[in-house]
Structure 1
């Protein structure tokens, strides 16, 4: 990458209690989307997630809707209602038919599993650039 590059770095917090899911997301996205470098942070528990979500700390939250004990949809709704200037939230659902549930969650976007790398990348890039409209965008 050249020194005069316009690449920016954005911080992403990935929540899933399932290590293979976290690995799939990171593998699908890699270290950048478009001209945006991704700085990854991972948590596996609800408590660790809530402890780390401080306004301005992360540019995007990716939450596993299928996480046990505290699923990403419920957590998304809680964060959107309780965190001032909550960053955009992407919820990963177990199947495409679950996307309607995500509207309740107040998530900014939803991507179903199995993950499609291009769809996930486009969605993350749109959220980080602010080009996706507010509200649930189902991919």
Structure 2
């Protein structure tokens, strides 16, 4: 298992980014690496960080403005080679079909529910670890 995992968190709302950090804690599950966060408040910052590399999972806020996480997800899936898996934060459970359209690997509803969020993030980190081992 790698020593740390880097999680990019995109939201224009500092409170949402804090909810993600608090729900994750030091690590979302005992069998995944300790998490380090890269926080982004703008779409340009997300693209710059992904171009730089080293991101293991992206957490994107579907309610962000001016560009929501769903549109951002679709764009990075089209433009970033070997795009990391995406966990999308959605406003309502009924928006899950939009998460599928955006090609996100997982989605959870806002406000962040810590147990559900940590479980979804840990699952994506496990998948990333397995792909890295191949």
What TM-score, normalized by structure 2, do the two folds share? 0.88
In the other structure, the counterpart of 1:12 is 7
Task: State the Cα RMSD in Å.
Answer: 1.5
How far, CA to CA, are the matches of 2:39 and 2:52 in structure 1? 17
- The answer to which of 63-72 and 33-42 deviates more is 33-42
How far, CA to CA, are the matches of 1:16 and 1:61 in structure 2? 11
The CA deviation string for residues 62-107 of structure 1, in whole angstroms up to 9 with x for no partner, is 0000001110000001101111100001110011111111111000
Q: Which has the higher helix share?
A: 2
How far, CA to CA, are the matches of 1:49 and 1:127 in structure 2? 19
What TM-score, normalized by structure 1, do the two folds share? 0.85
Q: Which runs of 5+ in 1 are unaligned?
A: 1-5, 132-139
In the other structure, the counterpart of 2:20 is 25
The CA deviation string for residues 20-79 of structure 1, in whole angstroms up to 9 with x for no partner, is 100111111112122320011101011111111127410000000000111000000110
Give every structure 1 segment of 4 or more consecutive aligned residues whose post-TM-superposition deviation is greater than 4 Å. Answer: none
How far, CA to CA, are the matches of 2:77 and 2:13 in structure 1? 23
- For residue 65 of structure 2, the aligned residue among 65, 68, 73 is 68
Larger Rg: 1
How far, CA to CA, are the matches of 1:45 and 1:55 in structure 2? 16
- Length, aligned pairs only: 126
How far, CA to CA, are the matches of 1:23 and 1:56 in structure 2? 23
Is 1:82 matched up with 2:83?
Answer: no
Alignment of structure 1 residues 92-107 onto 2, 5 Å: 92-107=89-104
1:8 to partner: Cα distance: 3.0
1:7 to partner: Cα distance: 6.8
